[in-house]
A = this chain, B = another copy of it.
């Protein structure tokens, strides 16, 4: 059955104020361009302010600063967040616990909370502990001694290695690997002697990890992903990294061993950070940057090696002029020599 709400109910959900008719029935949501009668839309980008007057939507979510054109709507401080919340509300599907399905493999001494779903082909190793309402999709692999909190979703093909601990409300998308061995070898003659990787990975509450990412177990102690951090696809987190709370790590970024990120750090796509660094709170590293030194809290860096983003933009703008600069420099040297000779001075060597 489709979900419907009054405008007042939605305003209460969002913590906003209604404009117009609070009893208006809303049946869903759409974009400014494509919403239909009965739906609610939102204005986040002021560029589209004029569409508020003409949209077919029955109501608009906007800030107090926007012109409502007398339409029905809801005033909020952050329309983008409000849209995400409404989308979550209208697309919510009640979860049905499926229990342990035929074809799942359950080891010994496994404990499971209430209302779990374990799909066919999932392998649950000895001594694993699974919290309430966990969803373990097909062909997931949980090695010995893994613990999962409540409301965890592991998508098909995820592997969690021995002893890793995953908190509450964590979602991991398909194919990601938690707790693979860290990459540690000691030189031994011409070859390499493997340093045993006997630590674990701890993933705190409310973390989401994309598809085919890898988080390595610590050599001795703990690799940690802080509460609320969101990690995209194909990201590499090496052994012993300490990732703070509420960080954003975009696809294909890689963080080398023992590096520590503060809170609310943002790494763009394909960023690389070398080992044993400290990245301060709220730092932002632009896509493809390479970080070779510690980063101060709040810094905004880009490039390889990463420097202040604004400085790099200016230098990058000069980069295409290097050939002409070199030529100019050479000519100036010749002209200078001529001038010096005319003046009877001894030209310096260039």
Judged by a CB distance under 8 angstroms, whether A200 is at the interface is no
**18 A–B contact pairs at CB < 8 A?**
A119-B123, A121-B123, A156-B159, A157-B157, A159-B174, A159-B175, A175-B177, A183-B232, A210-B214, A233-B236, A234-B236, A252-B272, A269-B272, A315-B320, A318-B323, A335-B348, A338-B345, A342-B343
Judged by a CB distance under 8 angstroms, whether A220 is at the interface is yes
On whether the beta carbons of A120 and B138 are closer than 8 Å, the reply is: no
Q: Which B residues touch A238, using CB under 8 A?
A: 251
Return the CB mask of A148-162 against B: 1 if under 8 Å, else 0: 000000011101010
- CB within 8 Å of B: which of A30-66? 31
Copies in the complex: 3
Return the CB mask of A305-345 against B: 1 if under 8 Å, else 0: 10110011011111111110110110111111011101101
Judged by a CB distance under 8 angstroms, whether A1 is at the interface is no
Chain A contact residues, CB within 8 Å of chain B: 31, 78, 80-81, 83-85, 87-88, 91, 102-103, 105, 119-121, 123, 137-139, 141, 143, 155-157, 159, 161, 173-175, 177, 180-181, 183-188, 190-196, 198, 206, 208, 210-214, 216, 220, 228, 230, 232-234, 236, 238, 245-246, 248, 250-252, 254, 256, 263-264, 269-270, 272, 274, 287-288, 290, 303-305, 307-308, 311-312, 314-323, 325-326, 328-329, 331-336, 338-340, 342-343, 345, 347-348, 350
Q: Which B residues touch A208, using CB under 8 A?
A: 194
On whether the beta carbons of B138 and A138 are closer than 8 Å, the reply is: no
On whether the beta carbons of B185 and A157 are closer than 8 Å, the reply is: no
| A78 interface neighbour in B180, B186, B264, Cβ under 8 Å | B186
Q: Which B residues touch A233, using CB under 8 A?
A: 177, 180, 183, 214, 216, 236
On whether the beta carbons of B187 and A161 are closer than 8 Å, the reply is: no
CA distance A143 to B155 in the complex (A): 10
On whether the beta carbons of A138 and B155 are closer than 8 Å, the reply is: no
Instruction: Specify the chain B residue showing the minimal Cβ separation from A228.
Output: B191
On whether the beta carbons of A328 and B329 are closer than 8 Å, the reply is: yes
On whether the beta carbons of A188 and B331 are closer than 8 Å, the reply is: no
